[in-house]
Amino acid sequence: AAGVIQSPRHLIKEKRETATLKCYPIPRHDTVYWYQQGPGQDPQFLISFYEKMQSDKGSIPDRFSAQQFSDYHSELNMSSLELGDSALYFCASSSQGQGANQETQYFGPGTRLLVL
Amino acid sequence: GEDVEQSLFLSVREGDSSVINCTYTDSSSTYLYWYKQEPGAGLQLLTYIFSNMDMKQDQRLTVLLNKKDKHLSLRIADTQTGDSAIYFCAETFTGNTPLVFGKGTRLSVIA
């Protein structure tokens, strides 16, 4: 079965640079979530989108922005990168209103970002 | 506010049962999940339970929910070395709202 695809899988940037992470949800999933997992930490919710509109907002810094496109893929744009942004960034997708199995969030493999 | 608590470490012998515990504080949580994360890898959904259920069994996995005490547990029968990983419990109000994760329990299986 198709899973959530994230690219790139690894990214190395320097401080003050920008980065763009991409997420391709499971086919027919309309909701995308972004989570950040620091080293040794639990995943923290950043932001989510449903049908191309922002649906929930978590602890996403103002330096970050995200959007969902007409094909339901999503991009997380990160600017003025800081050392503390080094983390694993997960995207998850689900389908609204289709029962618990579809509403469950399925995670991609993550993008590991290292800021030097 | 929401808070999910787990013990940080658990060590068991291969072939024994493992029980990973989780407590949550948000009584409005409707869905409770268990995810597995192997070193350097993503989050793999293991199982989930609705808040109106007491128990769910799926092969070697048994989930018990005590809604009164807001306590969730994951039992892994016949634990194998491949079960060594970090196990996160997570809660959400509905299936399409953000997940709130516990800190994760690192399970070590000794051969």
Residues of A in contact with B51 (CB under 8 A): none
Query: Above 80 in pLDDT, residue A100?
Result: no
Closest CA to B42 of A102, A93, A65, A115: A93
Which phi and psi angles does A84 have, rounded to 5°? -70, -10
What's the confidence (pLDDT) of residue A63? Answer: 97
Query: Above 60 in pLDDT, residue A98?
Result: no
Mean pLDDT over all residues of chain A?
A: 93
Residue type, B75: R
The single residue listed with the structure tokens 């639990």 is: A42
Residues B69 and B66: their CA atoms lie apart, in Å, by: 6
Residues B58 and B104: their CA atoms lie apart, in Å, by: 21
What's the confidence (pLDDT) of residue A114? Answer: 97
Looking at chain A, list the stretches that DSSP marks H as alpha helix, in order from N- to C-terminal side.
100-103
Is A58 in Cβ contact with B98 (below 8 Å)? yes
What's the confidence (pLDDT) of residue B1? Answer: 39
Residues A40 and B37: their CA atoms lie apart, in Å, by: 12
Residue type, A13: K
Tens digits of residue pLDDT in B47-86: 999 888 899 999 999 999 998 899 999 999 999 999 999 9
Is B41 in Cβ contact with A42 (below 8 Å)? no
Q: What is the percent of chain B where pLDDT is above 70?
A: 97
Average pLDDT over residues B6-24: 95
B86 neighbors B56 (Cβ within 8 angstroms)? no
Q: What is the percent of chain A where pLDDT is above 90?
A: 85
Residues of B in contact with A102 (CB under 8 A): 95
Is B94 in Cβ contact with A42 (below 8 Å)? no
pLDDT higher at A21 or A104: A21
The single residue listed with the structure tokens 């013990």 is: B7
Residue type, A66: A
